[in-house]
Amino acid sequence: FESMVALVHTSCGQRRSPLALGISLIEILKAKVCGVMNVGDLTLASASLRRKQLLVDVGLVFKIARADIDESPIKGEKAEDYVLRLSEEKARVVAPRHQDGVILAADTTVVLGGDILGKPESEAHGVEMLRRLSANTHKVLTGVSVINRYRQESFLTSSTGVFKEISLPEIL
């Protein structure tokens, strides 16, 4: 899969948090979780194996708590608002179970031609999504929320990727 996509550009945006552009997502997470939020117990509000591995790789010690929420976009919702809303909802759902710690939640989506692609609902849907992405430029948006009992910080990252042209046999 990685050979099909080229990362073109990454930027960080802001929402309720003054963040400088050009800082890597890992640096932001470490600053938010370790520095700004005075971490005690850290809980990752996600069942994502990739997010778990990212935190392990940077040396953070944490618990995992799944945040079961409705991830449906609201009609007319912009993709940036969508990922931020979901990350904030995930954090708020998990927070009551971990009141003395820090909650880290995130949500990522792919955007193509203004459409939020979401997670494939079936193998056929996944194939359709890959065919749409073939030979096209897309955005990958991630909303991240870090909260404790006193405050919440949320921010957005955006990357642009380009898929090479892939044939149906390559997808299958």
Kind and range of the H or E element at 131? Answer: helix 123-133
Given the residues 70, 81, 107, 115, the one annotated as active site:
107
Would you call 5 helix, strand, or coil by DSSP? strand
Decide if 107 is catalytic.
Answer: yes
Q: Are 45 and 105 in contact (CB under 8 A)?
A: yes
Helix ranges (H only) for 19-122 are 25-30, 49-57, 79-94
Selection from 45, 46, 41, 47 nearest residue 61 by Cα: 41
From CA 13, how far away is CA 10, in angstroms rounded?
10
Which conformational region is residue 118 in: left (phi greater than 0), alpha (psi within -120 to 50 degrees), or beta? left
- Indicate which residues carry an active-site annotation: 107
